[in-house]
Homo-oligomer: A and B are copies of this chain.
Amino acid sequence: PAAPAPRRPGLTEFVGTAIGDTIGLVIANVDPKLHAAMGLDAKYRSIGILSGRVGAGPHIMAVDEAVKATNTEVISIELPRDTKGGAGHGSLILLGAEEVSDARRAIEVALKDLARTFGDVYANDAGHIELQYTARASLACQKAFNAPVGRAFGLCVGAPAGIGVQMVDAAVKSADVDLIGLASPAKGTSFSNEVIGFFSGDAGAVRQAIITAREVGCRLLGSLGAEPASLGTPYI
């Protein structure tokens, strides 16, 4: 779903909105009671918040770029079971910063990058598939997916979940990559109807695995309904 034209709510904490019913926010000085309830590290006075109804992979990949580009750290990544009746997750990601300007800049970068990271999400009425790829994983991918920092990393998602099993099998058969993780409805997801494969390795191999998964996933998802359509512009 495209983001509505942002209506400014007139709060300094508001940063912006983006695709996926995503809102970006900052808090310059987190109240001590909230700070304690969230178990935040004392060094973070300021936090950035990226929160959406639709999408988890796109948000984590966008934050991965944001933390590379700014003086912020990933505090937490939580994945509600959402997508507004779809088969997947939404996301709540908190970033910590010593200065609110850093938190704001990180959220701005992430909101802008979502237009890219939704590019290889394909959906029809029956479900969705998602592909993500980075030549150099950073700290958000490490925290969320146990991705080795600095190496190429990719993931593939299929929903309904059985499509994801096929995508992962095709991906690991197509290129010499490490399968560093596997998530399914009862293991590693929030009961979403997805199977997700996580891949690390040489850039060319990871990219090849992801492209193979995309080809298989689109064809299988298409058997359940309309031709799956990208939610943006494919980037992989």
Query: A residues engaging B (CB < 8 A)?
Result: 3-4, 6-11, 13-14, 17, 21-25, 27, 30-31, 33-34, 37-38, 47, 49-53, 78-82, 84-87, 90, 92, 94, 126-127, 159-163, 165-166, 168-169, 172-173, 178-179, 181-182, 184-187, 189-195, 197, 216, 219-220, 222-225
| Cross-interface CB contact of A168 among B34, B50, B81, cutoff 8 Å | B34
State A14–B126 Cα separation when bound (angstroms): 16
Knowing A51-B160, A160-B51, A160-B90 touch, does A165 contact B33 (C-beta < 8 A)? no
| A and B contact pairs by CB, cutoff 8 A, 24 listed | A6-B223, A7-B223, A10-B219, A11-B216, A21-B224, A21-B225, A23-B223, A24-B162, A25-B163, A31-B169, A34-B168, A37-B181, A47-B165, A51-B193, A52-B160, A53-B159, A79-B186, A81-B81, A81-B191, A81-B193, A84-B87, A90-B185, A92-B165, A191-B191
Copies of this chain assembled into the complex: 3
Q: Is the interface of A mostly helix, strand, loop or mixed?
A: mixed
State A13–B164 Cα separation when bound (angstroms): 13
A186: chain B residues at CB < 8 Å are 78-79, 190
Question: Shortest distance in angstroms between A108's beta carbon and chain B's nearest beta carbon?
Answer: 15
A181: chain B residues at CB < 8 Å are 37
Question: Shortest distance in angstroms between A10's beta carbon and chain B's nearest beta carbon?
Answer: 6
A47: chain B residues at CB < 8 Å are 165
